[in-house]
């Protein structure tokens, strides 16, 4: 841990007490905790030192670091760099070459068992792992060395979690996710890229309670990946109504109708995009008019592909509209039956027995 507390670090960066408490409330909200936990979070962040973080890059595009660093104004995403003590990050650290190699060695030796390891990117395993070298060392060896001394291992982005696009069929370098290398508990903050707010929430949880949040069977925190995107999507009423975008830019697209026919994979995807959103809560891909590509799902580059082809077998497509149609059909059939009944009655009126038989 760094000697400076998280609160002290935030104060030094000009974050007010009010904003600090707002940050604590937002973290509790993202974690799905009640408001009664906010004082506990605030107390922990005030007293505890910032956890040291070693952030590694393997086979990837650095999109997850970009996601963290590209915030346009002070936000939860930006204060990530204040709530952790970022000791090693190849993209943004000042040292390079041998000095960078030395700083990594120093940290994992001096702070063994006391740092959080964050991994961005998949690890190639084909031919002994020769397809990714950093500083003369294979990614697979760095991953094992750093991971074995970490107090927590967090994979960020789909590549680090499940292999991502480097592992897509035919996967010539036999890329895998971090858990396949390390085994044990690895928190998978999946997504392409991961959502920086979810990363912050995991760190806050770890600092406050001393434990990692509950994970699903894919190692993803339940607070962020426990709900199906389709069930939280603002376009869902249009799905239920059978109102679909049929072509890019058509009237339905302009009116914000459902993107299911355009290949949206929201019904198979689990992440909190519809509630947390991106760019400081401004929007998310489906709101912006693009189908979900299930970027937080294992093997999405194979299983969700082609991205613009409609998913088959999704229950409930247009159920409301269909129910209305059935309702109209029943109403029409009832009206026809009533009319036919009237005709029969008129034709048989005055013949005695039928009126009596009907009890009139």
Interacting residues toward ligand SF4 by CB under 6 A:
229-230, 233, 235-236, 239, 258-260, 264, 266-267, 286, 292
Closer by beta carbon to ligand SF4, 134 or else 268:
268
Whole-number Å distance between alpha carbons of 115 and 153: 9
In whole angstroms, the minimum distance from the beta carbon of 189 to ligand SF4 comes to 21
Closer by beta carbon to ligand SF4, 149 or else 242:
242
Tell me if 158 sits within 8 A of 300, measured CB to CB: yes
In whole angstroms, the minimum distance from the beta carbon of 320 to ligand SF4 comes to 12
Residues in the chain: 360
Closer by beta carbon to ligand SF4, 157 or else 266:
266
Angle in degrees, 0-180, between the axes of helices 76-83 and 196-209, rounded to the nearest 10:
40
Written as one string, the DSSP assignment of 91-152 is TT-S--HHHHHHHHHHHHHHTTTSEEEEEESBEE-GGGGTT-EETTEEHHHHHHHHHHT-SE
Strands 123-124 and 175-176: antiparallel
In whole angstroms, the minimum distance from the beta carbon of 130 to ligand SF4 comes to 41
In whole angstroms, the minimum distance from the beta carbon of 230 to ligand SF4 comes to 4
Number of Cβ within 10 Å of residue 193's Cβ equals 24
In whole angstroms, the minimum distance from the beta carbon of 233 to ligand SF4 comes to 3
In whole angstroms, the minimum distance from the beta carbon of 283 to ligand SF4 comes to 14
Closer by beta carbon to ligand SF4, 33 or else 259:
259
In whole angstroms, the minimum distance from the beta carbon of 221 to ligand SF4 comes to 21
CA nearest 256: which of 280, 277, 279, 283? 283
Closer by beta carbon to ligand SF4, 50 or else 265:
265
49 strand-pairing partners: 5
In whole angstroms, the minimum distance from the beta carbon of 234 to ligand SF4 comes to 7
CA nearest 86: which of 99, 104, 74, 73? 104
Closer by beta carbon to ligand SF4, 179 or else 238:
238
In whole angstroms, the minimum distance from the beta carbon of 274 to ligand SF4 comes to 8
Tell me if 259 sits within 8 A of 287, measured CB to CB: no
In whole angstroms, the minimum distance from the beta carbon of 231 to ligand SF4 comes to 8
Tell me if 143 sits within 8 A of 56, measured CB to CB: yes
Whole-number Å distance between alpha carbons of 204 and 52: 13
Find the helix or strand (DSSP H, E) in which 85 lies: strand 85-89
Number of Cβ within 10 Å of residue 178's Cβ equals 31
Distances (CA, A) of 259 to 97, 262, 294, 360: 47, 5, 13, 56
Closer by beta carbon to ligand SF4, 88 or else 270:
270
Q: What are phi and psi for residue 234, nearest 5 degrees?
A: -70, -15
Closer by beta carbon to ligand SF4, 149 or else 289:
289
Closer by beta carbon to ligand SF4, 50 or else 230:
230
Whole-number Å distance between alpha carbons of 40 and 59: 38
Which residue's Cβ lies closest to ligand SF4?
Answer: 266
Whole-number Å distance between alpha carbons of 302 and 232: 24
């Amino acid at each position: 841990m760094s000697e400076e507390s998280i609160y002290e670090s935030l104060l030094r960066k000009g974050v007010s007490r009010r904003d600090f408490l707002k940050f604590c409330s937002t973290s509790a909200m993202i974690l799905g905790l009640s408001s009664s936990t906010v004082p506990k979070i605030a107390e922990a962040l005030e007293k505890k030192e910032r956890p040291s973080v070693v952030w590694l890059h393997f086979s990837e595009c650095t999109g997850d670091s970009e996601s963290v660093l590209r915030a346009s104004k002070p936000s939860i995403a930006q204060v990530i760099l204040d709530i952790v003590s970022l000791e090693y990050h190849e993209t943004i650290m000042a040292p390079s070459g041998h000095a960078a190699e030395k700083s990594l060695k120093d940290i994992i030796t001096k702070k063994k068992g006391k740092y959080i390891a964050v991994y961005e990117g998949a690890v190639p395993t084909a031919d002994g792992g020769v397809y990714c070298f950093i500083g003369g060392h294979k990614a697979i060896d760095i991953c094992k060395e750093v991971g074995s001394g970490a107090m927590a291992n967090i994979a960020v982005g789909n590549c680090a979690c499940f292999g991502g696009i480097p592992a897509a069929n035919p996967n010539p370098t036999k890329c895998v996710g971090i858990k396949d290398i390390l085994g044990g508990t690895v928190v998978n903050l999946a997504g392409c890229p991961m959502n920086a707010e979810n990363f912050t929430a995991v760190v806050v949880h770890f600092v406050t309670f001393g434990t990692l949040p509950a994970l699903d069977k894919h190692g993803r925190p339940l607070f962020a990946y426990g709900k199906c995107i389709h069930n939280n999507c603002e376009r869902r009423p249009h799905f239920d109504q059978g109102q679909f975008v049929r072509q890019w830019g058509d009237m339905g697209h302009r009116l914000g109708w459902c993107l299911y026919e355009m290949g949206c994979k929201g019904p198979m995807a689990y992440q909190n995009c519809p509630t947390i959103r991106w760019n400081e809560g401004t929007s998310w891909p489906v709101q912006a008019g693009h189908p979900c590509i299930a970027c937080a799902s294992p093997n999405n580059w194979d299983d969700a592909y082609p991205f613009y082809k409609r998913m088959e077998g999704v229950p409930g497509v247009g159920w409301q509209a269909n129910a209305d149609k059935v309702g109209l059909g029943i109403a029409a059939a009832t009206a026809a039956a009533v009319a036919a009944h009237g005709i029969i009655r008129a034709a048989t009126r005055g013949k005695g027995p039928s009126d009596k038989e009907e009890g009139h």
